[in-house]
Amino acid sequence: VEDYLNISRIETGNMKYDFKILDFGKIVLDTTKELASSIKRDGLELKINIDESREYKAKIDEGKMKQVITNIIDNSVKYTDVGHIEVSVSKDEKKGKIIAKISDTGVGIKKQTMPKLFKKFSRAKDANETNIHGTGLGLFIAKKMTEAHKGGRIWAESDGENMGAQFYVEIDAV
């Protein structure tokens, strides 16, 4: 229900954002830790590569970014039967960008699926074989929420079927 409400708010321009200068790395770390038990319960290893001694300051809406990271990690878990989920945060000082990366050892993404991945109600043709749950809204919402942030961009990469996937969330550093 919350996804449908968010879609409505996004499409009508009524989504509210509360931008503050926060540590994006800490938000990614805290969100990942909150999801750790469910990741492990699904029999997956969780790897976290975030340098906690660094600051990853950005002007962000904490709740929205938590939802973005949660949606991506949940998606990775749904499509990964064995192996691991890895979460990292890096900062490109030259470009002034902070990048969160969530990678998995899951089913991967077929080349023909990639252009539809972040579209509303879009699911891979054979998604039901791997995961019967899902509405095709999580990545769409993550994309819209990310794009509402300064320099916000989200994308995925995969070498194809059974090759895992990598999801990236990029925002401007402050």
Per-residue pLDDT reduced to its tens digit, 68-121:
999 999 999 999 999 999 999 999 999 999 999 999 999 999 999 899 999 876
* pTM for this model (two decimals): 0.89
User: End-to-end distance of the chain based on CA atoms, in angstroms?
Assistant: 34
Q: What sign has the CA pseudo-torsion 146, 60, 87, 51?
A: positive
Query: What local confidence, expressed as pLDDT, does residue 15 receive?
Result: 83
Mean pLDDT of the chain: 90
Edge-to-edge strand ranges of the sheet holding 45-49: 45-49, 84-92, 97-104, 165-172, 153-157
Type of residue numbered 121: F
